[in-house]
A and B are shown apart, each in its own frame.
Chain A
Amino acid sequence: MQRELFEPKIIGFFCNWCSYRAADGAGTARMKYPPNVRVVRLMCSGRADPAFVLKAFARGADGVMIAGCHPGECHYIEQNYKTMRRYAMLKQLLPAFGISPRRLRLVWASAAEAAQLAQIIEEMVEDVRTLGPLNWKANLAEESGHLDALERIYVEHRQQVEVAS
Chain B
Amino acid sequence: MSEKGKLAIYWAASCGGCEISILAINEKLLDVAGAFDIVFCPCIVDTKVRDVEKMPDASIDVCLFNGAIRTSEQEYMARLLRQKSKVLVAFGACAQEGGIPGQANLHNRQQIFETVYNTTPDGSGTPSTDNPQRHVPMPELRVNGFHLTLPVFYDTVRTLAQTVPVDYFLPGCPPEAPRIWEAIVAILEGKLPPAGAVIGPKTTCCDECPRTRGEKKIKKFRRIWEVNPDPDTCLLEQGLICCGPATRAGCGARCPQVNSPCIGCYGPNEGVEDQGARLVAALASVIDSSDPQEIERIIQEGIPDPVGMFYRFSLAGSLLRRAALVPDELRHELPRPRPAGAATARSAS
- The residue that A98 contacts in the complex, of B305, B310, B327, with Cβ under 8 A, is B327
Residues of A94-110 whose CB lies within 8 A of B:
95-100, 102-103
Most A-side CB within 10 Å, residue of B155, B274, B324, B339: B324
Known: A84-B290, A92-B303. A140 touches B321 (CB 8 A): yes
In the complex formed, the residue of B with least CB distance to A55 is B319
Residues of A122-165 whose CB lies within 8 A of B:
131-132, 134, 136, 138-140, 142-143, 145-146, 149-150, 152-154, 156-157, 160-161, 164-165
Most B-side CB within 10 Å, residue of A6, A88, A102, A142: A88
User: Which residues in A have their C-beta under 8 angstroms from that of B57?
Assistant: none
| Binary contact readout B274-292 vs A (1 if CB under 8 angstroms, 0 otherwise) | 1011101101110101101
Looking at the assembled complex, report how far the CB atom of B12 sits from the nearest CB atom of chain A, in whole angstroms.
14
In the complex formed, the residue of A with least CB distance to B272 is A51
- The residue that A93 contacts in the complex, of B73, B276, B327, with Cβ under 8 A, is B276
User: Which residues in A have their C-beta under 8 angstroms from that of B116?
Assistant: none
Looking at the assembled complex, report how far the CB atom of B129 sits from the nearest CB atom of chain A, in whole angstroms.
25
User: Which residues in A have their C-beta under 8 angstroms from that of B281?
Assistant: 49-51, 86
- The residue that A82 contacts in the complex, of B73, B284, B310, B321, with Cβ under 8 A, is B284
- Asked if A97 and B299 make an inter-chain contact with CB atoms under 8 angstroms apart, the answer reads no
A17 to B199, CA, bound (A): 42
- The residue that B285 contacts in the complex, of A58, A82, A92, with Cβ under 8 A, is A82
A57 to B323, CA, bound (A): 12
In the complex formed, the residue of A with least CB distance to B285 is A82
CB of A85 within 8 Å of the partner chain:
yes
User: Which residues in A have their C-beta under 8 angstroms from that of B331?
Assistant: 131-132
- Asked if B328 and A51 make an inter-chain contact with CB atoms under 8 angstroms apart, the answer reads no
A164 to B310, CA, bound (A): 49
Looking at the assembled complex, report how far the CB atom of A69 sits from the nearest CB atom of chain B, in whole angstroms.
14
In the complex formed, the residue of B with least CB distance to A86 is B284
A103 to B328, CA, bound (A): 10
Interface segment, B46-54, B205-213, B259-267?
Answer: B46-54
Residues of A105-122 whose CB lies within 8 A of B:
none
| Binary contact readout B288-313 vs A (1 if CB under 8 angstroms, 0 otherwise) | 01101001100110010111001000
- Asked if A96 and B290 make an inter-chain contact with CB atoms under 8 angstroms apart, the answer reads no
CB of B156 within 8 Å of the partner chain:
yes
Most A-side CB within 10 Å, residue of B299, B318, B323, B328: B328
Q: How many residues of A contact B (CB 8 A)?
A: 55
- The residue that B324 contacts in the complex, of A6, A139, A160, with Cβ under 8 A, is A139
A156 to B150, CA, bound (A): 12
- Asked if A5 and B337 make an inter-chain contact with CB atoms under 8 angstroms apart, the answer reads yes
In the complex formed, the residue of A with least CB distance to B268 is A51
CB of A2 within 8 Å of the partner chain:
yes
Q: B-side interface residues toward A, CB under 8 Å?
A: 49-50, 53-54, 72-73, 75-76, 106, 139, 149, 151-152, 154-156, 272-274, 276-278, 280-281, 283-285, 287, 289-290, 292, 295-296, 299-300, 303, 305-307, 310, 318-329, 331, 334, 336-337, 339-340
**26 A-B residue pairings within 8 Å (CB atoms):** A51-B277, A54-B320, A57-B320, A82-B284, A84-B292, A89-B284, A89-B303, A98-B323, A98-B324, A98-B325, A98-B329, A99-B328, A131-B328, A132-B334, A139-B321, A139-B322, A139-B325, A146-B154, A149-B139, A150-B72, A150-B76, A152-B72, A153-B76, A156-B149, A157-B49, A164-B50
Query: A49-B281, A96-B307 known; 17 other A-B pairs, CB under 8 Å?
Result: A2-B340, A50-B274, A54-B318, A81-B290, A85-B289, A86-B280, A88-B299, A92-B299, A92-B306, A98-B325, A98-B326, A100-B329, A140-B156, A146-B152, A152-B149, A156-B149, A164-B50
